[in-house]
Structure 1
């Protein structure tokens, strides 16, 4: 995996290219002009409330969740070296091409049907035919995460020996076990949790998913733009060495069961009212820290983005062109990153088919 976020987080902060200044130092000098009073008052600081980044994923990232604000604050106080801030970390992932991910849980009925397979019965509560609700699911997830390497390996072998039709609509499960085992190990507990209980998503370019705080997920492959609230807190529990995993009790205690269907994972794009040519699409997750818009221009096309009442960060991923702001022109090219102060109208013009992604708060 290759990534670097853009923003003012103390680890890997962004700097101004021309001067070498830490971006946060510049924002502190001109908070009203660059951040704006509305955003500064909402978050009670002049730091950027979001962190966008580009991810290029070649193998499954750890099975993880990001703790909610209450737990993050407690973890930060107890272990600030590992949990470096007291904030939550909801996020979106926007596909730049084909992208695979495990996200949230499948509908309960679908999981219940899979759990009737003989190799999986050992992970069910030892009571007579329980109602399969979220608490039953939590028991199943915890049992899978606590299982020994030998149990996980034998379960995966047994699942691969079953006829494909045994898996109903989830026939990808036996085919994906060897793939995940090659990346990590057939004894990795994450394989069972991800394949049996979680939604497997295959996204195309321009599609996006939303991960709420405490939402279970693992990115599998592809290139994405990710944007998250200002935090670097994470709990890992699979698709990584056992020594790198956090407490199973802690992980399962803060699990939420939203989303509970693949449709609930998706974050559809919508028209962006500030895009005057309609060449930019909005991705607006249900949180206050950020939204994102994606600009797609063919050769010679342009778009004007009206004034936004807060700070923005733009990254160009394809093409070339110009950005005009405050009567000054700036070159655009793949890999270029711009900070745009609040209340600034910008004009984007492509000399070569161009794509840019902009995170903002207002």
Structure 2
């Protein structure tokens, strides 16, 4: 008889912004699947561990070796009627563990309408017609750029002499259209202009930056990562919110929300898509059209607090040990169950599929008629309608993305 809860084997990617060898949480978690042939090479970069059915980096059922996608096609009853009607025998979200030591590309994910057009035009590059809103929950100190600073803050920075050349004529009072045009000017600026502007800014006294004293130091840090010629440096540092989060803190990035993750380890979840437009923090040859990028931009969020996704105690946790991250989209929510030594939690059944990963500690997970010994790095698909009981002698952290 098919099992509604199965352990998964997940793969890890090697993007150059990832962490090296054992430093990468993504690699360490991926290597802990029992019986895996995945071994960590300390000279290799490890960036993302993917969990789910997306075909680029699929997950496999540990006991049978078949892909989770094939398993669910044979057993669509584990998806649950409402998700099955909406998404077919598939997982409508894509969870990942990311470990990063330098900035990811400055990017937006096209909304559904643009994604459909791009997929039709170039299905090899844009592999699906879906949008890609996402959340990121910090597992360590996590630095990122997300969304836009308040207009007044941007306007005051662009009053500095080295930046005045980028202000469109007639724009004495900034609005979002001003930002779109400045973004285009900054992204189209020749390399020598980018380097010269960065150099001029670094020579200004710290006091010139008002409340934003971090700007010169951050420009210098990015210049060392991606050279002084990268257009992304200026957009990110001058115009975007720079956030530092601690473990358990989270952000929501809407479709078309500009962002660039900078450092740390996170659990991320997004709608089931891999579409992205990049224009900075990557080689020039890999950048997308500036026209397309600036056309796709939206101006949400427009304040650091608007980017934050608070968690709240979940009514699915019977003992009050489970918190929920609920972004304003229909594709998924995420539960975080955190137990200290000797604690337990029962999580009510969910009317849809879920994927869970143990991010720290060890313990037992009981489902009807079966008990699993679980530990850091173990990943499971949980079918609809299955209550879970967790207990631990040493402490346990579990993240679980689900659709209902």
Same fold (TM over 0.5): yes
Q: Does 1:35 align with 2:35?
A: no
Q: Equivalent residues in 2 for 1:298-337 (5 A)?
A: 298-337=340-379
1:92 maps to which residue?
Answer: 135
Paired position in structure 2 for 1:13? 58
The question of whether the paired residues in 2 share the 8 Å contact of 1:130 and 1:136 is answered with no
Superposition RMSD on alpha carbons, in Å? 0.8
Q: What residue in structure 1 maps to residue 100 of structure 2?
A: 57
Matched, 1:351 2:393: yes
Deviation per residue, 1:192-246 (Å, 9 max, x gap):
0001100000101110000000000000000000000000000000011110100
What does 1:53-202 align with in structure 2 at a 5 Å threshold?
53-127=96-170, 129-202=171-244
CA contact (8 A) 1:7 1:13 kept: yes
How far does residue 41 in structure 1 lie from its aligned partner after superposition?
1.2
Where has structure 1 moved over 6 Å in runs of 4 or more?
Answer: none
d(CA) in 2 for partners of 1:167, 1:64: 25
Cα drift, residue 187 of structure 1: 1.1
1:20-62 CA deviation, whole Å, 9 max, x = no partner? 0111111112212x1011111123x111000001000100000
User: Structure 2: how far apart are the matches of 1:192 and 1:61?
Assistant: 15
| Structure 1: distance between partners of 2:369 and 2:329 | 33
SS state of the match for residue 58, structure 2? Answer: coil
1:247 to 268, 280, 289: 289
1:135 deviates by 0.3
Distance 1:144 1:110 in 2: 17
Q: Structure 2 unaligned segments of length 5 or more: list them.
A: 1-17, 19-46
> Structure 2 residue aligned with 1:3, among 26, 48, 51?
48
Deviations 1:155-183 (A, max 9, x none): 00010111111111111010111111111
Report the TM-score, using the length of structure 2 for normalisation.
0.88
Q: Distance in 2 between matches of 1:215 and 1:349?
A: 39
For 1:318, what is the secondary structure of its paired residue? Answer: strand
CA distance in 2, matches of 1:68, 1:46: 23
Query: 1:304-324: per-residue Cα shift (whole Å, max 9, x none)?
Result: 000101001000011010111
Secondary structure of residue in 1 paired with 2:135: strand
SS class of match (1:351): coil
TM-score by length of 1: 0.98
Structure 2: how far apart are the matches of 1:312 and 1:303?
17
User: 3-state SS of the aligned residue for 1:287?
Assistant: coil
Q: Distance in 1 between matches of 2:388 and 2:143?
A: 34
1:131 is displaced (CA, Å) by 2.3
Q: Does 1:211 align with 2:253?
A: yes
SS in 2 for 1:174: helix
> Unpaired runs of 5+ in structure 1?
none
- Give the length in aligned residue pairs: 359
Distance in 2 (alpha carbons) for counterparts of 1:292 and 1:327: 26
